[in-house]
Amino acid sequence: MDQNQLINFKWDIKDIYRLLMQNIEPELLPENYSTLEENYENESPEDRRKRYSHYADCFELFLAQLDVLMHMLKDHISEEYRILRKQLEQYSDNKEYNFLSSLDDFFEKA
């Protein structure tokens, strides 16, 4: 099975891009691309170079923030997995094999 089929989110990478980029540079949101040419129609070559340099800096900041977000998600998932594993080990040690119940308890506390 394709890994993309394993995850069925109601949002996609564009939503993550918008979430991060809206606080960095709103001009770089996809819905604003079509107006950039019009907004900078009379821009000098030097100003355009500065703007593009600014956009490059914005993309670097976006990538850094994306990296932080991915690490936060990984850390959160790892912690939830650790909690679940500990719960399952406790049930197993007590010879209680009602894993569905333990999973229900876990998700109610999450």
Cα angle at 63 between 57 and 66, to 5 degrees?
140
Whether residue 59 has pLDDT greater than 60: yes
Mind listing the pLDDT tens digit for each residue in 78-104? 888 888 888 877 766 665 555 666 666
Check residue 104 and give its pLDDT.
66
User: What angle do helix axes 45-93 and 99-109 make, rounded to 10 degrees?
Assistant: 140
What three-state secondary structure class fits 96?
coil
Instruction: State the pTM of this model.
Output: 0.66
